[in-house]
Structure 1
Amino acid sequence: MQILGIFFGSVIVAVAFNFFLIPHEILSSGLTGVSMIIGMLTPMNTGVANFLLNFPLLVLGYLKLGRKFILYTILSVTVISIGLYFVPIVKVAQDIILSSIFGGALTGIGIGLIFRSSGSSGGLDVIGMLIARKRDFPIGTMLTAMNGVIILISGFLFNWDSALYTMVSIFVTGKVVDAVYTHHEKLTLMIITEKGDEMREHLLQNVYRGVTVLDGMGGYSNQKRNILMTVISRYELGEVKSLVSKVDPTAFVNITETVEVMGLFHKPHA
């Protein structure tokens, strides 16, 4: 299901670009926006530029963010790049305002699906997640600041009307992504399982958070169980749920929103 979510989300992003944004010279956020600029100003296809720009970040993400996350991101970047290459550029709507709003919303839906499936669309998303894990800043805020550069480039290279429409598109994309998935919230997970040691090891290897293990006992069965408690950011939830199901499909997991976290939130370095 996660692979399907990433695939369909990536196709939606490619369609949004080629049907609504690129025909009106409206840029998207991040490195994809840079790819659009390259595609508009040079003979290079936008999809090829997108893949080449993302490749170094994918290598960095593989080293810092974990194998599963980055493999899903590679899948997303590949599908988006292929989609940009093969999907024809068609001006579906003549009205540039409608195109910027609808294109931004469609892009947000696609990226939201990708995030929900434990991946990312590459580019500044990878950089944002790296910084967020180190500094605990909201991803949306950081990406907005980074995307400000894209808006300025759009204004200087094309015209300031295009820059403003790009701003509208990026704003709408961010709001839709937040609505679909990526609110910067903390979640507390209580995982009750009979495979405590295996679960603890698996979580520590794949999630950039600490884990507390408690001893427990089933009230009805009187069988010993482990209770694992961890606090994660909301964007990590999809990956953690997948990890828990992989180790113990019968584990009981209680997920609650966390108002505030004090003390060490990140996993201590060895």
Structure 2
Amino acid sequence: MYKILVIIAGSIIVGFAYNFFLIPHHILSSGISGIAIMLGLITPINTGILNLLLNLPLLILGLLKLGKRFILYTILSVITLSVSLYVIPVKEISTEPILSSLFGGVLTGIGIGLIFRVSGSSGGFDIIAMLLAKKKDFPLGTIISAMNGIVILAAGFVFTWDAALNTIIAIYATGKVIDAIHTKHIKLTLMIITKKGEEMKKQLLSNLYRGVTILDSEGAYSGENRKILITVITRYQLTDVKSIINQIDSSAFVNITETTEVIGSFHRT
């Protein structure tokens, strides 16, 4: 239920960002939604309806490649966003296009980032980005930004080049906020020094899909034998790992460092 509420809330935030900041100034968002906004501005068809229709082929692709639960979340997001775009009135909050593109992009990034954090998607290029991130471990926001050249060019040719430049601002802001919120690509290395090495190992292996390396050690001051457990996890798993460590050995010494790159066998989900 929590994930469903987050997806609905995130999608509504994106709807407000589009109708209050981007659409009034002919600024496009990233991906399929940007194309839907453009078509909605030059045709009598509502942007929400266009967003739903354009996402259908990618939803089918996602169903085949990314699993049913992910796509069910994505369908929920696409429907919620489409309804939001249909129901929320298009209203110009700011008369300044640059401010509108910046705030619209930030709000869009917040909404999409929240959706990504609960393993959902707002549809469109997000599905393609998730497939690429799963294979190559790239930051999602960076992937999405890189795929939007066609949207920027469309804004320039269909509207004005000022609109295209403002679209770049919106897309850039969206990508940066997504990367700040969705941190699954960030890896952490944990070094756990504990007296209960065997118990710690069993709990980590049974609760995390990660390998664990164990080393023997001796306290320089106390002379007591300890086990050092080393593992690499994603940022999302840190809370669970801390809870496991505290339950097994609350006096364990734990060093946590951010990992720049992982080479070798590492499950990227």
Tell me which interval the TM-score lies in, with the shorter structure as reference length: 0.7 to 0.9
Matched residues in 2 for 1:12 and 1:99: separation?
15
Identify the residue that residue 212 of structure 1 maps to in structure 2.
211
The C-alpha deviation readout for 1:135-181, integer Å capped at 9, x for no partner, is: 33332332222111110111011110100011111111122222223
* In 2: Cα distance, 1:163 partner to 1:77 partner: 25
Q: 1:228 to 1:32 in 2, by over 3 A?
A: farther
Shift of 1:251: 5.1
* Percent pairwise identity: 53
Q: 1:198 to 1:231 in 2, by over 3 A?
A: closer
Look up the equivalent residue of 1:84 and give its one-letter code. Answer: L
1:188–1:85 CA distance, 2 compared to 1 (3 A): farther
Give the corresponding residue for 1:206.
Answer: none
1:180 and 2:157 aligned: no
Write out per-residue CA displacement over residues 196-242 of structure 1, whole angstroms, 9 at most, x where no aligned residue: 89757xx6xxxxxxx43789xxxxxxxxxxx996644x5xx3xx799
Cα distance change on mapping 1:195 and 1:185 into 2, 3 Å: closer
Equivalent residue number for residue 249 of structure 2: none
1:154 maps to 155
2:70 alignment partner in structure 1: 69
Evaluate the alpha carbon distance shift between residue 159 and residue 132 of structure 1 in structure 2; reply closer, same or farther with a 3 A threshold: same
- Structure 1, 116-125 or 250-259: larger mean CA deviation: 250-259
**CA–CA separation in structure 1 for the residues paired with 2:87 and 2:111:** 18
Gaps of 5+ in 1: 204-210, 216-226
- Mind listing any 5+ residue stretches in structure 2 that lack a counterpart? 193-198, 215-228, 247-253
User: Which residue identity lines up with residue 108 of structure 2 in the other structure?
Assistant: T
TM-score of the aligned structures, taking structure 2 as reference length = 0.76
Letter in 2 for 1:262: I
TM superposition shift of 1:53? 1.4
Pairwise CA distance, 1:252: 5.2
Given that residues 141 and 176 in structure 2 are in contact (C-alpha distance below 8 angstroms), is that contact kept between their aligned partners in structure 1?
no
Task: Name the CA distance, whole Å, in 2 between partners of 1:50 and 1:20.
Answer: 17
| Secondary structure of 2:73's aligned partner | helix
For 1:1-270, list aligned pairs within 5 A. 1-182=2-183, 184-187=185-188, 211-212=210-211, 231-232=233-234, 234=235, 237=236, 257-266=258-267
